Amino acid sequence: MGGIADYSGSLVLQMPTSEAAMTAVQENNTGRIRVGSLRGDDHDSLSLFSCECSDLILNGRPLQYQETRKFFGTSDRDFWAGYVAGVLPVLLTEGYIKEIKGLDILLWSNVPEAKGAASSAAIEVATMRAICELYGLNIPEEKMALLCQKVENLIVGSPCGIMDQMTSVLGKERTLLKLLCQPAKVCGYTAIPKDLAIWG
């Protein structure tokens, strides 16, 4: 609750929905990043994206964010992959990982797309969590949300606030997350009374 108020830094109250996004990752040592996305309950519908690990590196350093955004934005067909594979250049640029030898990523989500239900934040956070688990990265949860916001702002190019990413990371069932969106300060939680139901 708060809608687009996070753009102006307002206080919002947020609760995750019952839908979910899940990501599985494994190293493949092929020098390629391969991403597959299953759409909701339609397990026969698989979107695929693939690139060389070297596509994200220039002269031994990670591409700058502007260069990476251009890379993922060159094809309308592959634009969606920026939300998933875009986690990697953020972790490279921010110094959390040093190299990628090859990675397979499989995404599944039933969070409604283009409905204001934080579908992009859900897949960013699911992918970030999976990659952190794979590489043994211990990133604090609030910092993880900020890194996912970088994926959306700097890789995809969508000027979202922090509300959706923070809720995807820190949200709790039947509990409202109190969040001051600038400077992304968690102000605590409020339990929802048992006799109150919320629809969106």
Phi, psi of 61, rounded to the nearest 5 degrees: -130, 155
Q: What's the rounded Cα separation, in Å, for the pair 48 and 85? A: 12
End-to-end CA distance of the chain: 9
Helix axes 141-150, 163-170, angle to 10 degrees: 140
Q: Which residue in 6, 44, 164, 195 is the catalytic one?
A: 164
Q: Is 164 a catalytic residue?
A: yes
Residue 98: which of 86, 89, 106, 107 has the closest Cα?
89
Which residue is it, tokens 């934080």? Answer: 118
Element (H, E) at 67: helix 65-72
Q: Which amino acid is at 8?
A: S
Catalytic annotation, residues? 164
